[in-house]
C-alpha cells in the first residue's frame, strides 16, 4: 500500500472520530442543563490523579443544622440558681409528702436544688382532695386507693428518671388518731402496701407511713414558716411563733426569750431543734380535740348535755330559727335550734370548753391545765403567724392578712348579731356567712383560742397566710426537709 493511501485512511479515521465526539457532546448537551454540564466538566477537570489523595480533594461536608426546639436537658432537672451542685449532692432533688388530715388528704411535690450544702426550695405543686382517710375506717383498701389521684400528680410532676430516688412519706394527723389505733393501723398498712407494690417512689424508712405525733406536727410547721420567711438562713435571726388550727387539733410553737436568770421548765413541751447549724430551744404543745371541727362538735355536745333534753335544744351560737340535726357521741340525734342570742352568750358556751379552771400543775398555764410560757413575757414583740383554719375563716370576710386579736372579737360580735354592714363591700362575704350557719360559733372560738387560750392580748397583731412566697404554710415542708436528711438522694452519674 502506498504512503498516500495510508495517509488518506488516517485522515478518514480522524474525521470519523471527530464526528463521533461531536455527536456525543451534542447528545450530552441535549440531555443535561447547561449548569449541570458545566459542573460535570469542572468535576472531570478536578478528578484526582493516581498520585493524589482522594480525601484531600473532597469538599468538607455541610454543617448539620441543629433543631432549635430540642433542649439539651430536661428543664425539670436543671436549676435557675446554679449549674453545678454542692459536692456530693444532686443538682435537683424532689420529695413527696402526703398530708392525711381529718377533712382531706393533700400532696406536696417539692423541688429542691443543692446549689449549697443545704436544700433550697425552688417549686411546689400542691393538690388537695376530700374526704380524709378516716372516712374509710371500715375499708382500708378503699382508703389506700383514695390516694391514687394524688399519686398520679406525683408521677406526672417528677421526671421519670428520678422516680426511683424521690422519697415519699404519708403522715396522718388528728383525724386518723380519732378512729382508734386498730383501725388507724389497718389503714396505714394498706397505704404502705399500695405504695410498695404499685408505685416507684421509695418510702421513707423512718416513719414513712405513720400517724404523726402532735409535737412533730407543730415543730415541722414552725420550720416551714420560719424557713419561708428566711429566718433559718445564715446567721441567727429572730423567729416567728406559729399557731396552726386544723380540723382535729391545734398547735402552738415558739422560741421563748428569757432573762439570764430564767429558763423554760423542762418537760415534753420542750423541743431542742438543730437546723442549718443553729440550735433552737422551742416550746411546743399540740391540743388534740381542739381543732375547729372537733371543737365545734364538742361545743354542741356540751350544750345538749346541759339541757338534758332528747328532742330539741336551743343553741346561742346558731343563727335565729336555724335548725340542725346533730348526732351525739352515742349516735343518738337531737335537733339544735338557733336562738341568735349573740356573741356574749355564745362566748359563755365556748369558754366552758377551754377549761381555763383546770388544775395547773406547772405554772404558768394556757388552758386545760397545760404549761405554757407567757407570750407577753417571753415573746412580746416578735411575729405571730396563725394559719390553716385561722386563714380559712377570716379571709372570706375580707379581714386583712394582719389583724389584731380584738378585731376577731369585733367580727364575731357583728356576725353573731347578723349585722353584715362591715362585710357587704367584700365580694362573696355575705354569701359565705349564709352558706355557713356555724360562722358565729367559729369566729367566737377563734377569738377565745387566741385570747383566752394562748393568752394573746386583744391589741396584739397576728399575721395569717395560706402561702408564703407561693408555698403552702403548714407542717409538710418542714417534714420534707427533715426527710431529705435521711433519704438516698438522686446522685446521677
3-state SS, one letter per residue, for the chain:
CCHHHHHHHHHHHHHHHHHHHHHHHHHHHHHCCHHHHHHHHHHHHHCCCCCCCHHHHCCCCCCCCCCCCCCCCCHHHCCCCCCCCCCCCCCEEEEEEEEECCCCEEEEEEEEECCCCCCEEEEEEEEEECCCHHHHCCCHHHHHHCCHHHHHHHHHHCCHHHHHHCCEEEEECHHHHCCCHHHHHHHHHHHHHHHHHHCCCCECCCCCEEECCHHHHHHHHHHHHHHHCCCCCCCCCCCCEEEEECCCEEEEEECCCCCCCCCCCCCCCEEEEEECCEEEEEEEEEEECCCHHHHHHHHHHHHHHHHCCCCEEEECCCCCCCEEEEECCCCCEEEEEECCCCHHHHHHHHHHHHCCCCCCCCCCECCCCCECCCHHHHCCCCCEEEEEHHHHHHHHHCCCCEEEHHHHHHHHHHHHCCCCCCCCCCCCHHHHHHHCCCHHHHHHHHHHHHHHHCCCCCCCEEEECCEECCEECCCHHHHHHHHHCCCCCCCCC
Cell numbers at 350, concatenated: 365556748
Q: pLDDT value at position 8?
A: 53
User: Which residues, 6+ apart, have CB-to-CB distance to 224 below 8 Å?
Assistant: 473, 474, 475, 476, 477, 478
pLDDT for residue 224: 96
Residue 105: strand pairing partners: 100, 129
Tens of pLDDT along the chain (493 residues) come to 444 445 555 555 555 655 555 555 555 445 545 444 454 344 434 434 433 443 344 445 444 444 443 334 677 888 888 989 999 999 999 999 999 988 899 999 999 999 998 899 999 999 999 999 999 999 999 999 999 999 999 999 999 999 999 999 999 987 888 899 999 999 999 999 999 999 999 999 989 999 999 899 999 999 999 999 999 987 888 999 999 999 989 999 999 998 765 778 888 899 999 888 889 999 999 999 999 999 999 999 998 888 876 688 999 999 999 999 999 888 889 999 999 999 999 999 999 999 999 999 999 999 999 999 999 999 999 999 999 999 999 999 999 999 999 999 999 999 999 999 999 999 999 999 999 999 999 999 999 999 999 999 999 999 999 999 999 999 999 999 999 987 778 875 5
pLDDT score of 14:
52
CATH number for the domain formed by residue range(s) 292-470: 3.30.420.150
Going from N- to C-terminal start, the domains of the chain cover 75-212+475-493, 292-470
The reported pLDDT for the residue numbered 10 is 52
Active site residues: 217
For domain 75-212+475-493, which CATH number applies: 3.40.50.1000, 3.30.200.100, 3.30.420.40, 3.40.50.11540?
3.30.420.40
Q: How far apart are CA 282 and CA 274, in angstroms?
A: 11
Fold match flag (75-212+475-493 vs 292-470): yes
| C-alpha closest to that of 241 among 217, 271, 221, 216 | 221
Tens digit of each residue's pLDDT (9 = 90 or more) over 165-221: 999 999 998 788 889 999 999 999 999 999 999 999 999 998 999 999 989 999 999
Bind-site residues for ATP: 247-251
Give exposure, 300-324, as e/b (b: 16+ Cβ within 10 Å).
Answer: bbebbeeeeeeeebebbbbbeeeee
- 452-470 per-residue burial string, b: 16 or more CB within 10 A, e: under 16: bbbbbeeebebbbbeebee
* Residue 241 dihedral angles phi and psi, to the nearest 5°: -85, 150
Q: What pLDDT is stored for residue 22 in this prediction?
A: 53
Residues across the chain: 493
Question: Residue 103: its pLDDT value, please?
Answer: 85
Amino acid at each position: 500500500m502506498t504512503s498516500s493511501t495510508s495517509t488518506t485512511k488516517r485522515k478518514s479515521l480522524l474525521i470519523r472520530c471527530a464526528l463521533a465526539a461531536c455527536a456525543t457532546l451534542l447528545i450530552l448537551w441535549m440531555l443535561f442543563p447547561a449548569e449541570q454540564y458545566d459542573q460535570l466538566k469542572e468535576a472531570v477537570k478536578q478528578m484526582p490523579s493516581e498520585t493524589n489523595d482522594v480525601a484531600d480533594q473532597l469538599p468538607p461536608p455541610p454543617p448539620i443544622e441543629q433543631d432549635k426546639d430540642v433542649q439539651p436537658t430536661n428543664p425539670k432537672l436543671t436549676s435557675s440558681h446554679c449549674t453545678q451542685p454542692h459536692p456530693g449532692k444532686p443538682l435537683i432533688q424532689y420529695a413527696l409528702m402526703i398530708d392525711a388530715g381529718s377533712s382531706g388528704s393533700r400532696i406536696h411535690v417539692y423541688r429542691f436544688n443543692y446549689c449549697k450544702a443545704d436544700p433550697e426550695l425552688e417549686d411546689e405543686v400542691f393538690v388537695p382532695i376530700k374526704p380524709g382517710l378516716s372516712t374509710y375506717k371500715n375499708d382500708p383498701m378503699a382508703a389506700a386507693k383514695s390516694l391514687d389521684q394524688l399519686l398520679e400528680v406525683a408521677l406526672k410532676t417528677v421526671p421519670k428518671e428520678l422516680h426511683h430516688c424521690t422519697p415519699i412519706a404519708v403522715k396522718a394527723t388528728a383525724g386518723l388518731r380519732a378512729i382508734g389505733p386498730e383501725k388507724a393501723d389497718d389503714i396505714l398498712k394498706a397505704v404502705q402496701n399500695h405504695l410498695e407494690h404499685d408505685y416507684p417512689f421509695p418510702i421513707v424508712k423512718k416513719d414513712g407511713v405513720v400517724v404523726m405525733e402532735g409535737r412533730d406536727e407543730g415543730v415541722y410547721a414552725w420550720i416551714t414558716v420560719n424557713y419561708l420567711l428566711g429566718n433559718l438562713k445564715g446567721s441567727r435571726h429572730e423567729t416567728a411563733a406559729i399557731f396552726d388550727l386544723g380540723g382535729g387539733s391545734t398547735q402552738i410553737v415558739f422560741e421563748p426569750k428569757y432573762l439570764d436568770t430564767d429558763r423554760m421548765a423542762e418537760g415534753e413541751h420542750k423541743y431542742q431543734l438543730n437546723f442549718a447549724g443553729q440550735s433552737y430551744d422551742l416550746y411546743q404543745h399540740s391540743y388534740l380535740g381542739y381543732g375547729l371541727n372537733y371543737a365545734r362538735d364538742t361545743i354542741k355536745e356540751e350544750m345538749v348535755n346541759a339541757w338534758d333534753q332528747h328532742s330539741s335544744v336551743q343553741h346561742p351560737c346558731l343563727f335565729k330559727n336555724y335548725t340542725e340535726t346533730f348526732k351525739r357521741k352515742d349516735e343518738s340525734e337531737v335537733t339544735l335550734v338557733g336562738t341568735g342570742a349573740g356573741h356574749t352568750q355564745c362566748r359563755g358556751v365556748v369558754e366552758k370548753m377551754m377549761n381555763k379552771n383546770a388544775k395547773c400543775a406547772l405554772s404558768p398555764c394556757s388552758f386545760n391545765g397545760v404549761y405554757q410560757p407567757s407570750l407577753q413575757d417571753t415573746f412580746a414583740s416578735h411575729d405571730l403567724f396563725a394559719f390553716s383554719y385561722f386563714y380559712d375563716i377570716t379571709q372570706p370576710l375580707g379581714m386583712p392578712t394582719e389583724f389584731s386579736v380584738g378585731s376577731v372579737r369585733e367580727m364575731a360580735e357583728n356576725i353573731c348579731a347578723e349585722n353584715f354592714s362591715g362585710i357587704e363591700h367584700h365580694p362573696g362575704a355575705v354569701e359565705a356567712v349564709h352558706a355557713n350557719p356555724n360562722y358565729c360559733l367559729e369566729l367566737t372560738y377563734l377569738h377565745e383560742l387566741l385570747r383566752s387560750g394562748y393568752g394573746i392580748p386583744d391589741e396584739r397583731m397576728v399575721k395569717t397566710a395560706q402561702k408564703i412566697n407561693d408555698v403552702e404554710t403548714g407542717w409538710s415542708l418542714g417534714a420534707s426537709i427533715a426527710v431529705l436528711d435521711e433519704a438516698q438522694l438522686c446522685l446521677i452519674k
